[in-house]
A and B are shown apart, each in its own frame.
Chain A
Protein backbone atom coordinates (compact mmCIF):
# COMPACT_ATOMS: atom_id res chain seq x y z
CA UNK A 1 0.00 0.00 0.00
CA UNK A 2 1.37 3.38 -0.98
CA UNK A 3 1.58 6.04 1.71
CA UNK A 4 -0.63 9.09 1.47
CA UNK A 5 0.89 10.99 4.38
CA UNK A 6 4.02 10.50 6.43
CA UNK A 7 5.24 12.06 9.66
CA UNK A 8 8.91 12.19 10.52
CA UNK A 9 9.56 13.10 14.15
CA UNK A 10 6.81 15.69 13.80
CA UNK A 11 6.25 18.30 16.51
CA UNK A 12 3.36 20.73 16.20
CA UNK A 13 2.32 23.32 18.73
CA UNK A 14 1.56 26.85 19.79
CA UNK A 15 4.06 29.35 21.21
CA UNK A 16 6.81 26.73 21.19
CA UNK A 17 4.80 24.44 23.50
CA UNK A 18 4.30 21.14 21.73
CA UNK A 19 0.74 19.91 21.27
CA UNK A 20 1.87 16.96 19.16
CA UNK A 21 5.29 15.73 20.20
CA UNK A 22 7.69 13.58 18.16
CA UNK A 23 5.19 11.74 16.02
CA UNK A 24 6.51 9.39 13.37
CA UNK A 25 4.56 7.09 11.13
CA UNK A 26 2.68 6.73 7.91
CA UNK A 27 -0.92 6.83 6.80
CA UNK A 28 -1.49 4.47 3.91
CA UNK A 29 -3.38 5.44 0.80
CA UNK A 30 -7.03 4.48 1.36
CA UNK A 31 -6.62 4.09 5.12
CA UNK A 32 -9.54 4.60 7.48
CA UNK A 33 -7.84 5.98 10.57
CA UNK A 34 -9.33 7.16 13.85
CA UNK A 35 -7.32 9.60 15.96
CA UNK A 36 -8.28 9.25 19.61
CA UNK A 37 -7.01 10.58 22.89
CA UNK A 38 -7.90 12.79 25.84
CA UNK A 39 -8.81 16.47 25.48
CA UNK A 40 -5.76 18.56 24.70
CA UNK A 41 -3.92 15.57 23.29
CA UNK A 42 -3.17 17.33 20.01
CA UNK A 43 -5.71 15.57 17.81
CA UNK A 44 -7.14 18.69 16.16
CA UNK A 45 -3.66 20.17 16.04
CA UNK A 46 -2.49 17.18 14.03
CA UNK A 47 -5.26 17.73 11.47
CA UNK A 48 -4.37 21.42 11.23
CA UNK A 49 -0.79 20.41 10.61
CA UNK A 50 -1.79 18.05 7.81
CA UNK A 51 -3.97 20.71 6.17
CA UNK A 52 -1.02 23.07 6.33
CA UNK A 53 -2.64 25.70 8.51
CA UNK A 54 -0.07 25.11 11.25
CA UNK A 55 3.64 24.92 10.47
CA UNK A 56 5.63 22.21 12.27
CA UNK A 57 7.83 23.34 15.17
CA UNK A 58 10.07 20.42 14.33
CA UNK A 59 10.21 17.37 12.11
CA UNK A 60 8.29 17.08 8.93
CA UNK A 61 5.04 16.06 7.26
CA UNK A 62 5.50 14.49 3.87
CA UNK A 63 2.52 14.59 1.60
CA UNK A 64 4.13 12.63 -1.24
CA UNK A 65 1.97 13.28 -4.29
CA UNK A 66 -1.00 14.49 -2.24
CA UNK A 67 -1.37 18.17 -3.02
CA UNK A 68 -3.00 20.69 -0.71
CA UNK A 69 -6.01 20.71 -3.00
CA UNK A 70 -6.45 16.96 -2.67
CA UNK A 71 -7.23 17.38 1.03
CA UNK A 72 -10.72 18.12 2.30
CA UNK A 73 -11.04 19.32 5.87
CA UNK A 74 -14.05 19.40 8.14
CA UNK A 75 -13.35 21.81 11.01
CA UNK A 76 -14.98 21.40 14.42
CA UNK A 77 -18.51 22.70 14.19
CA UNK A 78 -17.78 25.21 16.97
CA UNK A 79 -15.44 27.10 14.63
CA UNK A 80 -18.28 27.93 12.26
CA UNK A 81 -20.28 31.14 12.63
CA UNK A 82 -23.79 29.79 12.31
CA UNK A 83 -25.38 33.20 12.72
CA UNK A 84 -23.94 34.28 9.36
CA UNK A 85 -26.74 34.85 6.83
CA UNK A 86 -26.03 32.23 4.22
CA UNK A 87 -28.21 29.47 2.81
CA UNK A 88 -27.59 25.74 3.00
CA UNK A 89 -27.18 25.72 -0.77
CA UNK A 90 -24.44 28.35 -0.75
CA UNK A 91 -22.66 26.66 2.13
CA UNK A 92 -22.62 23.35 0.30
CA UNK A 93 -21.58 25.04 -2.95
CA UNK A 94 -18.38 26.18 -1.24
CA UNK A 95 -17.21 22.63 -1.78
CA UNK A 96 -16.65 23.58 -5.41
CA UNK A 97 -14.05 26.21 -4.42
CA UNK A 98 -11.26 24.19 -6.00
CA UNK A 99 -12.96 24.45 -9.39
CA UNK A 100 -14.80 27.71 -9.18
CA UNK A 101 -12.29 29.77 -7.17
CA UNK A 102 -12.71 33.50 -6.91
CA UNK A 103 -14.86 34.25 -9.90
CA UNK A 104 -15.64 31.01 -11.71
CA UNK A 105 -19.29 30.47 -12.57
CA UNK A 106 -21.43 27.65 -11.23
CA UNK A 107 -22.87 25.93 -14.31
CA UNK A 108 -25.72 23.52 -14.83
CA UNK A 109 -23.45 20.53 -14.23
CA UNK A 110 -22.25 22.00 -10.96
CA UNK A 111 -25.79 22.71 -9.85
CA UNK A 112 -26.65 19.10 -10.52
CA UNK A 113 -23.68 17.99 -8.41
CA UNK A 114 -24.76 20.29 -5.59
CA UNK A 115 -28.31 18.92 -5.77
CA UNK A 116 -27.04 15.35 -5.63
CA UNK A 117 -24.79 16.10 -2.65
CA UNK A 118 -27.65 17.73 -0.76
CA UNK A 119 -29.93 14.82 -1.61
CA UNK A 120 -27.29 12.29 -0.48
CA UNK A 121 -27.05 13.74 3.01
CA UNK A 122 -30.84 13.89 3.26
CA UNK A 123 -31.28 17.65 3.23
CA UNK A 124 -33.51 18.00 0.18
CA UNK A 125 -35.97 20.80 0.75
CA UNK A 126 -33.56 22.66 2.99
CA UNK A 127 -31.62 24.37 0.18
CA UNK A 128 -32.80 27.91 0.83
CA UNK A 129 -32.88 27.68 4.62
CA UNK A 130 -30.41 29.89 6.45
CA UNK A 131 -27.78 27.84 8.26
CA UNK A 132 -28.78 29.51 11.52
CA UNK A 133 -32.12 27.67 11.43
CA UNK A 134 -30.57 24.19 11.18
CA UNK A 135 -30.21 21.77 14.06
CA UNK A 136 -26.76 20.49 14.96
CA UNK A 137 -27.33 17.29 13.03
CA UNK A 138 -28.65 19.05 9.92
CA UNK A 139 -25.69 21.43 10.00
CA UNK A 140 -23.26 18.53 10.11
CA UNK A 141 -25.13 16.90 7.21
CA UNK A 142 -24.71 20.10 5.20
CA UNK A 143 -20.98 20.11 5.93
CA UNK A 144 -20.74 16.50 4.78
CA UNK A 145 -22.46 17.51 1.54
CA UNK A 146 -19.73 20.10 1.11
CA UNK A 147 -17.12 17.38 1.66
CA UNK A 148 -18.82 15.26 -1.00
CA UNK A 149 -18.45 18.10 -3.50
CA UNK A 150 -14.80 18.59 -2.64
CA UNK A 151 -14.23 15.12 -4.07
CA UNK A 152 -10.86 14.86 -2.32
CA UNK A 153 -8.37 12.00 -2.03
CA UNK A 154 -7.71 12.71 1.63
CA UNK A 155 -10.57 13.60 3.98
CA UNK A 156 -9.89 14.96 7.47
CA UNK A 157 -12.79 15.04 9.94
CA UNK A 158 -12.47 16.88 13.25
CA UNK A 159 -14.99 15.42 15.71
CA UNK A 160 -17.56 14.83 12.98
CA UNK A 161 -20.04 13.07 15.27
CA UNK A 162 -19.87 15.25 18.37
CA UNK A 163 -23.31 15.54 20.02
CA UNK A 164 -25.29 14.00 17.17
CA UNK A 165 -28.12 11.50 17.55
CA UNK A 166 -27.60 7.89 16.52
CA UNK A 167 -29.57 8.16 13.28
CA UNK A 168 -27.44 11.06 12.05
CA UNK A 169 -24.25 9.32 13.12
CA UNK A 170 -25.15 6.15 11.26
CA UNK A 171 -26.12 8.10 8.11
CA UNK A 172 -22.87 10.02 8.14
CA UNK A 173 -20.85 6.87 8.93
CA UNK A 174 -22.32 5.38 5.80
CA UNK A 175 -20.72 8.21 3.84
CA UNK A 176 -17.42 7.60 5.59
CA UNK A 177 -17.58 3.94 4.58
CA UNK A 178 -18.46 4.94 1.04
CA UNK A 179 -15.34 7.11 0.90
CA UNK A 180 -13.32 4.22 2.28
CA UNK A 181 -14.77 1.98 -0.42
CA UNK A 182 -13.74 4.53 -3.04
CA UNK A 183 -10.13 4.19 -1.77
CA UNK A 184 -10.04 7.66 -0.32
CA UNK A 185 -7.94 8.21 2.79
CA UNK A 186 -10.09 9.18 5.77
CA UNK A 187 -8.67 10.48 9.07
CA UNK A 188 -11.21 11.25 11.79
CA UNK A 189 -10.76 12.68 15.28
CA UNK A 190 -13.17 10.79 17.53
CA UNK A 191 -14.07 10.29 21.17
CA UNK A 192 -16.42 7.33 21.08
CA UNK A 193 -14.25 4.22 21.53
CA UNK A 194 -17.09 1.82 20.74
CA UNK A 195 -17.75 3.54 17.45
CA UNK A 196 -14.04 3.51 16.63
CA UNK A 197 -13.77 -0.19 17.40
CA UNK A 198 -16.75 -0.99 15.19
CA UNK A 199 -15.99 1.15 12.19
CA UNK A 200 -12.33 2.08 12.05
CA UNK A 201 -9.78 -0.64 11.30
CA UNK A 202 -6.84 1.54 12.30
CA UNK A 203 -6.35 3.93 15.22
CA UNK A 204 -3.78 6.38 16.51
CA UNK A 205 -3.86 7.02 20.25
CA UNK A 206 -2.39 10.41 20.96
CA UNK A 207 -1.58 12.10 24.25
CA UNK A 208 0.72 14.73 22.90
CA UNK A 209 3.22 11.93 22.46
CA UNK A 210 1.95 9.10 20.28
CA UNK A 211 0.98 6.27 22.67
CA UNK A 212 0.08 3.63 20.14
CA UNK A 213 -0.67 3.39 16.45
CA UNK A 214 -1.93 0.33 14.65
CA UNK A 215 -4.88 -2.05 14.54
CA UNK A 216 -7.69 -0.50 16.52
CA UNK A 217 -8.26 -3.29 19.07
CA UNK A 218 -4.57 -3.42 19.95
CA UNK A 219 -4.19 0.35 20.07
CA UNK A 220 -7.14 0.81 22.38
CA UNK A 221 -6.01 -1.73 24.96
CA UNK A 222 -6.66 -0.84 28.61
CA UNK A 223 -2.92 -0.41 29.29
CA UNK A 224 -2.54 2.05 26.43
CA UNK A 225 -5.58 4.04 27.50
CA UNK A 226 -4.26 4.29 31.05
CA UNK A 227 -0.91 5.42 29.75
CA UNK A 228 -2.59 8.06 27.61
CA UNK A 229 -4.50 9.43 30.56
CA UNK A 230 -1.33 9.75 32.63
CA UNK A 231 0.52 11.55 29.87
CA UNK A 232 -2.11 14.14 29.21
CA UNK A 233 -1.18 16.75 31.77
CA UNK A 234 -1.68 20.41 31.00
CA UNK A 235 1.01 22.39 29.23
CA UNK A 236 3.79 23.29 31.57
CA UNK A 237 4.50 27.03 31.59
CA UNK A 238 7.98 26.47 32.97
CA UNK A 239 8.87 23.67 30.56
CA UNK A 240 12.51 23.55 29.56
CA UNK A 241 13.76 23.21 26.03
CA UNK A 242 13.13 19.74 24.66
CA UNK A 243 16.40 17.78 24.65
CA UNK A 244 15.35 15.53 21.78
CA UNK A 245 14.73 18.49 19.55
CA UNK A 246 18.19 18.45 17.99
Chain B
Protein backbone atom coordinates (compact mmCIF):
# COMPACT_ATOMS: atom_id res chain seq x y z
CA UNK B 1 0.00 0.00 0.00
CA UNK B 2 2.64 2.45 1.09
CA UNK B 3 4.79 1.68 -1.93
CA UNK B 4 1.85 2.06 -4.23
CA UNK B 5 0.25 5.25 -2.97
CA UNK B 6 2.58 7.14 -0.66
CA UNK B 7 6.16 6.33 -1.60
CA UNK B 8 6.18 8.08 -4.99
CA UNK B 9 5.23 11.34 -3.33
CA UNK B 10 7.30 10.84 -0.20
CA UNK B 11 10.46 10.01 -2.08
CA UNK B 12 10.40 12.28 -5.10
CA UNK B 13 10.31 16.01 -4.99
CA UNK B 14 9.01 16.33 -8.56
CA UNK B 15 6.07 14.08 -7.72
CA UNK B 16 5.16 16.27 -4.75
CA UNK B 17 5.23 19.36 -6.92
CA UNK B 18 3.15 17.65 -9.56
CA UNK B 19 0.69 16.59 -6.87
CA UNK B 20 0.39 20.14 -5.58
CA UNK B 21 -0.03 21.35 -9.15
CA UNK B 22 -2.91 19.05 -10.09
CA UNK B 23 -4.72 19.60 -6.79
CA UNK B 24 -4.69 23.38 -6.96
CA UNK B 25 -5.66 23.28 -10.60
CA UNK B 26 -8.66 21.06 -9.86
CA UNK B 27 -9.80 23.30 -7.03
CA UNK B 28 -10.29 26.24 -9.30
CA UNK B 29 -10.61 24.94 -12.85
CA UNK B 30 -13.33 22.33 -12.23
CA UNK B 31 -15.97 24.79 -10.91
CA UNK B 32 -15.19 27.12 -13.81
CA UNK B 33 -15.76 24.13 -16.08
CA UNK B 34 -19.19 23.62 -14.51
CA UNK B 35 -20.29 27.06 -15.63
CA UNK B 36 -18.77 26.65 -19.09
CA UNK B 37 -20.76 23.45 -19.43
CA UNK B 38 -24.00 24.90 -18.07
CA UNK B 39 -23.73 27.88 -20.40
CA UNK B 40 -23.15 25.50 -23.31
CA UNK B 41 -19.68 26.94 -23.81
CA UNK B 42 -17.63 23.76 -23.50
CA UNK B 43 -16.27 24.22 -27.01
CA UNK B 44 -15.50 27.85 -26.37
CA UNK B 45 -13.29 26.70 -23.50
CA UNK B 46 -11.44 24.38 -25.84
CA UNK B 47 -10.91 27.16 -28.33
CA UNK B 48 -9.56 29.52 -25.70
CA UNK B 49 -7.14 26.84 -24.56
CA UNK B 50 -5.74 26.68 -28.07
CA UNK B 51 -5.80 30.42 -28.44
CA UNK B 52 -3.28 30.66 -25.64
CA UNK B 53 -0.70 28.89 -27.77
CA UNK B 54 0.26 31.61 -30.28
CA UNK B 55 0.56 34.12 -27.42
CA UNK B 56 2.73 31.81 -25.37
CA UNK B 57 4.71 31.05 -28.53
CA UNK B 58 5.37 34.74 -29.11
CA UNK B 59 6.61 34.95 -25.55
CA UNK B 60 8.81 31.95 -26.28
CA UNK B 61 10.22 33.61 -29.44
CA UNK B 62 11.11 36.72 -27.51
CA UNK B 63 12.43 35.22 -24.32
CA UNK B 64 12.77 31.46 -24.74
CA UNK B 65 11.17 29.13 -22.20
CA UNK B 66 10.55 32.05 -19.88
CA UNK B 67 7.69 31.74 -17.40
CA UNK B 68 6.75 35.41 -17.35
CA UNK B 69 6.84 35.99 -21.11
CA UNK B 70 4.82 32.87 -21.93
CA UNK B 71 2.26 33.62 -19.21
CA UNK B 72 1.69 37.20 -20.31
CA UNK B 73 1.57 36.19 -23.97
CA UNK B 74 -0.90 33.42 -23.20
CA UNK B 75 -3.26 35.65 -21.23
CA UNK B 76 -3.20 38.36 -23.87
CA UNK B 77 -3.89 35.93 -26.70
CA UNK B 78 -6.59 34.11 -24.77
CA UNK B 79 -8.50 37.27 -23.98
CA UNK B 80 -8.05 38.61 -27.52
CA UNK B 81 -9.54 35.47 -29.02
CA UNK B 82 -12.41 35.34 -26.53
CA UNK B 83 -13.33 38.90 -27.47
CA UNK B 84 -12.75 38.43 -31.20
CA UNK B 85 -14.85 35.25 -31.45
CA UNK B 86 -17.65 37.01 -29.59
CA UNK B 87 -17.48 39.99 -31.95
CA UNK B 88 -17.43 37.87 -35.10
CA UNK B 89 -20.47 35.96 -33.89
CA UNK B 90 -22.34 39.11 -32.92
CA UNK B 91 -21.62 41.30 -35.90
CA UNK B 92 -21.42 38.91 -38.84
CA UNK B 93 -23.62 36.20 -40.25
CA UNK B 94 -21.30 33.43 -39.00
CA UNK B 95 -22.65 31.49 -36.03
CA UNK B 96 -20.53 31.37 -32.90
CA UNK B 97 -19.54 27.71 -33.20
CA UNK B 98 -18.19 28.20 -36.71
CA UNK B 99 -16.34 31.34 -35.61
CA UNK B 100 -14.84 29.39 -32.75
CA UNK B 101 -13.76 26.52 -35.01
CA UNK B 102 -12.01 29.01 -37.29
CA UNK B 103 -10.12 30.59 -34.41
CA UNK B 104 -9.23 27.21 -32.97
CA UNK B 105 -7.58 25.99 -36.17
CA UNK B 106 -5.75 29.20 -36.93
CA UNK B 107 -4.45 29.53 -33.36
CA UNK B 108 -3.12 26.00 -33.25
CA UNK B 109 -1.40 26.28 -36.63
CA UNK B 110 0.03 29.68 -35.84
CA UNK B 111 1.27 28.58 -32.42
CA UNK B 112 3.00 25.46 -33.72
CA UNK B 113 4.61 27.46 -36.54
CA UNK B 114 5.90 30.13 -34.16
CA UNK B 115 7.37 27.59 -31.75
CA UNK B 116 9.04 25.71 -34.61
CA UNK B 117 10.75 28.89 -35.80
CA UNK B 118 13.07 28.81 -32.86
CA UNK B 119 12.43 25.78 -30.74
CA UNK B 120 13.09 22.07 -31.03
CA UNK B 121 10.59 19.25 -31.15
CA UNK B 122 11.05 18.87 -27.41
CA UNK B 123 9.89 22.45 -26.86
CA UNK B 124 6.96 21.87 -29.16
CA UNK B 125 6.01 18.72 -27.31
CA UNK B 126 6.20 20.58 -24.07
CA UNK B 127 3.84 23.39 -25.06
CA UNK B 128 1.39 20.96 -26.62
CA UNK B 129 1.25 18.40 -23.83
CA UNK B 130 2.77 20.18 -20.86
CA UNK B 131 5.26 18.98 -18.33
CA UNK B 132 3.55 18.20 -15.06
CA UNK B 133 6.68 16.55 -13.71
CA UNK B 134 8.88 19.55 -14.48
CA UNK B 135 6.93 22.15 -12.51
CA UNK B 136 9.44 24.36 -10.73
CA UNK B 137 8.66 26.59 -7.77
CA UNK B 138 8.04 29.82 -9.71
CA UNK B 139 5.66 28.03 -12.09
CA UNK B 140 3.86 26.48 -9.14
CA UNK B 141 3.55 29.95 -7.63
CA UNK B 142 2.02 31.29 -10.84
CA UNK B 143 -0.48 28.45 -10.91
CA UNK B 144 -1.30 28.86 -7.23
CA UNK B 145 -1.79 32.61 -7.40
CA UNK B 146 -3.95 32.46 -10.52
CA UNK B 147 -6.15 29.75 -9.08
CA UNK B 148 -6.45 31.47 -5.69
CA UNK B 149 -7.51 34.70 -7.36
CA UNK B 150 -9.93 32.79 -9.53
CA UNK B 151 -11.53 31.01 -6.58
CA UNK B 152 -12.16 34.26 -4.73
CA UNK B 153 -13.43 35.97 -7.85
CA UNK B 154 -15.76 33.07 -8.58
CA UNK B 155 -17.15 33.24 -5.05
CA UNK B 156 -17.76 36.94 -5.55
CA UNK B 157 -19.67 36.59 -8.82
CA UNK B 158 -21.34 33.28 -7.99
CA UNK B 159 -24.87 34.60 -7.49
CA UNK B 160 -25.07 36.85 -10.54
CA UNK B 161 -23.34 34.17 -12.61
CA UNK B 162 -25.95 31.58 -11.64
CA UNK B 163 -28.70 34.12 -12.31
CA UNK B 164 -27.21 34.98 -15.69
CA UNK B 165 -27.41 31.33 -16.63
CA UNK B 166 -30.92 30.60 -15.35
CA UNK B 167 -32.78 33.82 -15.90
CA UNK B 168 -30.80 36.58 -17.62
CA UNK B 169 -33.93 38.72 -18.02
CA UNK B 170 -34.45 38.76 -14.28
CA UNK B 171 -30.81 39.59 -13.57
CA UNK B 172 -30.99 42.54 -15.95
CA UNK B 173 -34.08 43.75 -14.13
CA UNK B 174 -32.44 43.70 -10.70
CA UNK B 175 -28.85 44.56 -11.52
CA UNK B 176 -26.75 45.90 -14.33
CA UNK B 177 -23.90 43.54 -13.56
CA UNK B 178 -24.67 40.96 -16.27
CA UNK B 179 -22.12 42.08 -18.84
CA UNK B 180 -19.39 42.71 -16.28
CA UNK B 181 -19.99 39.31 -14.75
CA UNK B 182 -19.82 37.63 -18.14
CA UNK B 183 -16.54 39.34 -19.03
CA UNK B 184 -15.05 38.60 -15.64
CA UNK B 185 -16.06 34.99 -16.03
CA UNK B 186 -14.36 34.78 -19.44
CA UNK B 187 -11.17 36.23 -17.97
CA UNK B 188 -11.30 33.63 -15.21
CA UNK B 189 -11.54 30.96 -17.89
CA UNK B 190 -8.44 32.35 -19.58
CA UNK B 191 -6.54 32.64 -16.27
CA UNK B 192 -7.29 29.03 -15.39
CA UNK B 193 -6.35 27.84 -18.84
CA UNK B 194 -3.03 29.65 -18.71
CA UNK B 195 -2.37 28.10 -15.31
CA UNK B 196 -3.30 24.67 -16.65
CA UNK B 197 -1.26 25.29 -19.78
CA UNK B 198 1.95 25.33 -17.75
CA UNK B 199 1.18 21.90 -16.37
CA UNK B 200 -0.74 20.15 -19.12
CA UNK B 201 0.05 22.00 -22.32
CA UNK B 202 -2.30 23.67 -24.72
CA UNK B 203 -3.99 20.51 -25.96
CA UNK B 204 -4.83 19.06 -22.56
CA UNK B 205 -5.29 22.18 -20.43
CA UNK B 206 -9.02 22.26 -20.93
CA UNK B 207 -9.27 18.62 -19.81
CA UNK B 208 -8.94 19.44 -16.10
CA UNK B 209 -11.74 21.93 -16.61
CA UNK B 210 -14.30 20.07 -18.70
CA UNK B 211 -13.97 16.38 -17.82
CA UNK B 212 -14.60 16.68 -14.07
CA UNK B 213 -17.41 19.13 -14.79
CA UNK B 214 -19.07 16.88 -17.35
CA UNK B 215 -18.74 13.92 -14.98
CA UNK B 216 -20.23 15.84 -12.04
CA UNK B 217 -23.35 16.62 -14.10
CA UNK B 218 -24.38 12.98 -13.68
CA UNK B 219 -24.35 13.00 -9.90
CA UNK B 220 -26.49 15.90 -8.70
CA UNK B 221 -29.11 18.44 -9.72
CA UNK B 222 -27.72 21.28 -7.67
CA UNK B 223 -25.06 23.57 -9.04
CA UNK B 224 -23.22 24.09 -5.73
CA UNK B 225 -22.95 20.39 -5.04
CA UNK B 226 -21.98 19.89 -8.66
CA UNK B 227 -19.03 22.22 -8.24
CA UNK B 228 -17.90 20.37 -5.11
CA UNK B 229 -18.19 17.00 -6.82
CA UNK B 230 -16.26 18.23 -9.85
CA UNK B 231 -13.41 19.36 -7.60
CA UNK B 232 -13.34 15.94 -5.93
CA UNK B 233 -13.31 14.17 -9.28
CA UNK B 234 -10.54 16.48 -10.50
CA UNK B 235 -8.38 15.83 -7.44
CA UNK B 236 -8.89 12.07 -7.55
CA UNK B 237 -8.13 11.94 -11.29
CA UNK B 238 -5.02 14.04 -10.74
CA UNK B 239 -3.69 11.81 -8.00
CA UNK B 240 -4.52 8.55 -9.74
CA UNK B 241 -3.16 9.82 -13.05
CA UNK B 242 0.13 10.74 -11.38
CA UNK B 243 0.40 7.35 -9.69
CA UNK B 244 -0.40 5.38 -12.82
CA UNK B 245 2.07 7.38 -14.86
CA UNK B 246 4.73 6.84 -12.19
CA UNK B 247 4.27 3.10 -11.85
CA UNK B 248 3.56 2.27 -15.47
CA UNK B 249 5.98 4.81 -16.84
CA UNK B 250 3.38 6.60 -18.96
CA UNK B 251 3.44 10.27 -20.01
CA UNK B 252 2.01 12.19 -17.05
CA UNK B 253 -0.28 14.82 -18.58
CA UNK B 254 -2.15 12.33 -20.75
CA UNK B 255 -2.35 9.89 -17.81
CA UNK B 256 -4.05 12.54 -15.66
CA UNK B 257 -6.52 13.43 -18.38
CA UNK B 258 -7.16 9.75 -19.13
CA UNK B 259 -7.92 9.16 -15.45
CA UNK B 260 -10.43 12.02 -15.59
CA UNK B 261 -11.80 10.43 -18.75
CA UNK B 262 -12.34 7.15 -16.93
CA UNK B 263 -14.23 8.93 -14.15
CA UNK B 264 -16.29 10.64 -16.81
CA UNK B 265 -17.12 7.31 -18.46
CA UNK B 266 -18.04 5.78 -15.08
CA UNK B 267 -20.31 8.73 -14.37
CA UNK B 268 -22.02 8.43 -17.74
CA UNK B 269 -22.80 4.80 -16.98
CA UNK B 270 -23.45 4.86 -13.23
CA UNK B 271 -24.54 8.44 -12.49
CA UNK B 272 -27.96 8.70 -10.83
CA UNK B 273 -28.93 11.85 -12.77
CA UNK B 274 -29.56 10.78 -16.34
CA UNK B 275 -26.88 8.06 -16.36
CA UNK B 276 -27.15 5.09 -18.70
CA UNK B 277 -27.69 2.47 -16.01
CA UNK B 278 -30.78 4.27 -14.79
CA UNK B 279 -32.07 4.58 -18.31
CA UNK B 280 -31.41 0.98 -19.29
CA UNK B 281 -32.81 -0.67 -16.17
CA UNK B 282 -36.29 0.78 -15.87
CA UNK B 283 -37.56 0.50 -12.35
CA UNK B 284 -41.22 0.28 -11.36
CA UNK B 285 -42.82 3.69 -11.50
CA UNK B 286 -44.07 5.23 -8.31
CA UNK B 287 -47.60 5.79 -7.20
CA UNK B 288 -47.40 9.59 -7.30
Pairwise interchain contact B167-A130, C-beta atoms closer than 8 A: no
A residues at B contact (CB < 8 Å): 51-53, 69, 71-73, 75-76, 79-81, 84-87, 90-91, 94, 97-98, 100-103, 130-133, 146
Q: A residues within 8 A CB of B160?
A: 102
Instruction: Output the nearest chain A residue to B175 by Cβ-Cβ distance.
Output: A97
- Among B38, B156, B173, B223, the residue within 8 A (CB) of A51 is B173
Q: B residues within 8 A CB of A71?
A: 173
Secondary structure of the B contact surface, majority rule: helix
Q: Tell me, yes or no, whether B90 is within 8 Å of chain A by CB.
A: no
- Minimum CB–CB distance from A70 to chain B (whole Å) comes to 11
Q: Tell me, yes or no, whether B1 is within 8 Å of chain A by CB.
A: no
Pairwise interchain contact A102-B159, C-beta atoms closer than 8 A: yes
In the complex, what distance in Å separates the CA atom of A85 from the CA atom of B162? 10
Instruction: Output the nearest chain B residue to A76 by Cβ-Cβ distance.
Output: B169
B residues at A contact (CB < 8 Å): 38, 156-157, 159-160, 162-163, 165-170, 172-175, 217, 220-223, 226
In the complex, what distance in Å separates the CA atom of A90 from the CA atom of B163? 10
Q: A residues within 8 A CB of B159?
A: 97, 100-102
- Among B169, B174, B220, B223, the residue within 8 A (CB) of A84 is B223
- Among A69, A75, A97, the residue within 8 A (CB) of B169 is A75
Q: A residues within 8 A CB of B174?
A: 69, 97-98
In the complex, what distance in Å separates the CA atom of A146 from the CA atom of B174? 12
Pairwise interchain contact B223-A103, C-beta atoms closer than 8 A: no
Q: A residues within 8 A CB of B156?
A: 102-103
Pairwise interchain contact B223-A94, C-beta atoms closer than 8 A: no
Q: A residues within 8 A CB of B226?
A: 85
In the complex, what distance in Å separates the CA atom of A132 from the CA atom of B160? 20
Pairwise interchain contact A79-B38, C-beta atoms closer than 8 A: no
Pairwise interchain contact A130-B222, C-beta atoms closer than 8 A: yes
Pairwise interchain contact A85-B169, C-beta atoms closer than 8 A: no
> Which of B157, B165, B221 gathers most chain A CB within 10 Å?
B221
- Minimum CB–CB distance from B189 to chain A (whole Å) comes to 18
Pairwise interchain contact B166-A81, C-beta atoms closer than 8 A: yes
Can you list 21 contacts pairing A with B, beta carbon distance less than 8 Å? Answer: A53-B169, A53-B173, A72-B173, A73-B169, A75-B169, A80-B166, A80-B167, A80-B169, A81-B166, A81-B167, A85-B221, A85-B223, A85-B226, A86-B162, A90-B162, A90-B222, A94-B170, A97-B159, A97-B163, A132-B221, A146-B170
